[in-house]
Each structure stands twice: as structure tokens, then as C-alpha cells.
Amino acid sequence: MKAIIRDRYGPPGVLKLSEVDKPVVGDHEVLVRVHASSVNPVEWYQVTGLYFSRIGNGLRNPKQKTVGADLAGRVEAVGKDVKEFQPGDDVFGTSGAAWAEYACAREDRLVSKPANLSFEEAAAVPVAALTALQALCDKGRIQPGQKVLINGASGGVGTFAVQIAKSFGAEVTGVCSTRNVELVRSLGADRVVDYTQEDFTERGDRHDLMLDIAGSRSFFDFRRALTPKATVVLVGGRMTYRGLGPLPHVLGTLLTSRGRSQTVTFFVSKSTKEDLAVLRELLEAGKVRPVIDKNYQLSEAADALGYLGEGHARGKVVISV
Ligand SMILES: NC(=O)c1ccc[n+]([C@@H]2O[C@H](COP(=O)([O-])OP(=O)(O)OC[C@H]3O[C@@H](n4cnc5c(N)ncnc54)[C@H](OP(=O)(O)O)[C@@H]3O)[C@@H](O)[C@H]2O)c1
């Protein structure tokens, strides 16, 4: 089968389309004929070899050659302990090697694909939407009527966060650049701040919950936009080709916010069947829709990753297989 692999860390050009063996399904796994995947910053970190992503995966060269977290496709075979799926089922979820014609995924990281979504739309969902859902619900404890600020509302995580926050009855302010103002408004944001024209920290509005996805401002700046008891969930920050990526922003914000009345927290999202099922319900009900910026073919995975790495994706970057 064809798969995208890499032998060393480096720029997106290290990714190559190669002929490899079809994976063998484990007892609790499902073998999926992948129809689509998508691109997330996690692949940027893994491929370029950001320092923290090398821990456990080879300090000099990557032990795991394959890449790709999100997948949507059709079940080809199931392991002997798999109960829920059978060949022919359409599914979406996460794997570790989804930029390929076939990938194995754990049964507990898949759910059935919503019938109203294409494979490309379903593949746009898992990592970005799970992150938005867990940031808002598990970490942010979002409540109806709360004022929620989403800094970085137009990218993969942000476009889902705006819609999920609205579905929970929050009053949402999204921060993005000029070309994305209409998009973020169309996703349901009550207010949109164009960061090229206006400083969201100087508007005088106070928010109960903030998702810091863009990592563009310090705690001392953005606390002006928070209520005294607000919760801030640090999701990410700027991606850099080498070095530490968003970590300096995350650690700096955690340190500078110590002893303040607001609660500031960081988390790493997890792929769970329960949360994928919540997302499926929101998608089936039409409360959330994936926004797809660009669609690449598997052979163009390096271009897809390079585009994401520029840091201005508008919704999700998808790969058709
Ligand atoms: N903690 C976790 O578990 C987790 C999971 C997934 C992702 N993340 C992190 O979250 C971050 C975003 O991920 P993503 O998938 O949403 O990335 P993405 O799709 O590449 O999003 C980039 C977006 O950021 C916006 N942006 C850039 N500068 C901005 C600024 N100064 N103010 C506001 N928005 C700005 C861009 O909009 P413009 O073009 O309008 O500037 C673009 O739409 C990354 O750092 C990633 O590592 C963390």
C-alpha cells in the first residue's frame, strides 16, 4: 500500500510517498481503508522534530516513520476482540499512521461516521474538535450565558471552539484577522475582533472563560479582558520550525498567572470514544460543521503540512487518500 513516511526530522520535504506493507490488525484494533485525513500542528511538531516531540520517538531520527492522527474511512477488517465494528462500516477517529491507504486504529478511538458528512469533512474533525470540546467542557467548565473569548478563532481548533461554545449557550467573542471576520461571524460568534484593527485586551469587555489558541498575548495583557474569577485554558501558541514551539508561551503564562484570582490551565487533548460520540451528535444535529480551507491528495502531504506551518490556515487542511 502507499503511505507517507519520513526517515529523519526536518522541513515538510522530508515526507515521501512510499510503498510499505499493509498494517496487521491487533486484537483490539480496526483496520481502516483511509479515505481522508487532515493536518494538525501535532504533525508539524513530529515531522520537524520540535524538541519535546522527540522524547520517546528518537532524539536523532524518528523511530516511528509514519504520520497522521485524524482519519475517516471504511472498516476493512477487525481484530478478534473488537465488538462494535465490522467490515464495511464507515468510521472516523484517530490513529498514529493515517497518512496512508490503510491504517490501524484502536476500537476505543473510533466512532461511526455521521451520514451527513463526507469522508473529508469527517477527517477534519477529530483532533481539532476534541481539543475544542475538552478545552471548553473539561477544563473550562463552560456554562450557558457565560462570556467566552476565543483568541485564534479562525484556525482548526478555533472554528470548532466557536461553534461548540455557541451550542452550549455561551456568548462568544472570536479574535481573528480581517479576512476571517465574516467566517467567524458565520460560525455564530456574537462579536468578532479583528486583531489587525483592534486590541481585544483594550475593549473593556470582561470574559468568564478564555481559550488561548493563538498564544499571541501575555497574561498581563489579556487579564484586562477577564473577570476576576475567569478561567483561561491555554491551548497552544505559535508554531516554530525549530526549538520549543508554543511551550515558552504556555510556561510563561502559567508562571506569570500564579497567585492571581483567575485560574489558568494547560492541557493536552485525548482521543476518546465518548467525546467523539458527543462530536458526532453535534455534527448530526447540524450544530457544528467542519470548515475546510484546502484539500490535498496523499501525494501532496508535504505541501499540506507546509501550508499549515505558515500559521494561517482558515479552518482545516484536509488530505484525500
Ligand atoms: N493542547 C492541545 O491538546 C492542542 C491540540 C491541538 C492544537 N493545539 C495547539 O493549538 C494551536 C492552534 O492549533 P490549530 O489546529 O487551530 O492551528 P491552525 O489551524 O494552524 O490555526 C492557525 C490560526 O491561528 C490564527 N492566528 C494567527 N495569529 C493570530 C493572532 N495573533 N491572533 C489570533 N489568531 C491568530 C490564524 O488566523 P489568521 O490567518 O487570521 O492570522 C489561523 O487561523 C497550535 O499551537 C497547536 O499546537 C493544542
In a domain, 280, yes or no: no
Adjacent-strand bridge partners of 172: 148
Going from the Cα of 152 to the center of ligand 1, the distance in angstroms, rounded, reads: 6
Is 111 in the same domain as 186?
no
Is 171 in the same domain as 241?
yes
Q: CA-CA distances (angstroms) from residue 48 to 27, 53, 62, 195?
A: 32, 9, 10, 29
- Indicate which atom in ligand 1 lies nearest the CA of residue 158: 16
Going from the Cα of 155 to the center of ligand 1, the distance in angstroms, rounded, reads: 5
Cα separation, 120 vs 134, in Å, equals 23
State the DSSP code for 201.
G
Is 140 in the same domain as 256?
yes
In a domain, 273, yes or no: no
At 164 the pLDDT is 98
Quote the domain boundaries for residue 197.
128-266
Cα separation, 288 vs 107, in Å, equals 24
At 201 the pLDDT is 97
Per-residue pLDDT of the chain (321 residues; tens, 9 = 90+): 999 999 999 999 999 999 999 999 999 999 999 999 999 999 999 999 887 788 888 889 999 999 999 999 999 999 999 999 999 999 999 999 999 999 999 999 999 999 999 999 999 999 999 999 999 999 999 999 999 999 999 999 999 999 999 999 999 999 999 999 999 999 999 999 999 999 999 999 999 999 999 999 999 999 999 999 999 999 998 877 557 788 889 999 999 999 999 999 999 999 999 999 999 999 999 999 999 999 999 999 999 999 999 999 999 999 999
Total number of domains constituting the chain: 2
Going from the Cα of 121 to the center of ligand 1, the distance in angstroms, rounded, reads: 19
In a domain, 274, yes or no: no
What are the start-end ranges of the E strands in the chain? 2-5, 16-19, 29-39, 70-78, 90-94, 102-106, 110-112, 147-151, 171-176, 191-194, 207-212, 226-234, 263-266, 292-297, 316-320
At 54 the pLDDT is 87
* Residue 41 in contact with ligand 1 by CB distance below 6 A: yes
Amino acid at 264: V
**Nearest by Cα to 17 from 241, 294, 295, 297:** 297
Q: Indicate which residue's Cα is closest to atom 40 of ligand 1.
A: 177
In a domain, 184, yes or no: yes
* Residue 180 in contact with ligand 1 by CB distance below 6 A: yes
Is 10 in the same domain as 109?
yes
* Residue 128 in contact with ligand 1 by CB distance below 6 A: yes
Going from the Cα of 130 to the center of ligand 1, the distance in angstroms, rounded, reads: 14
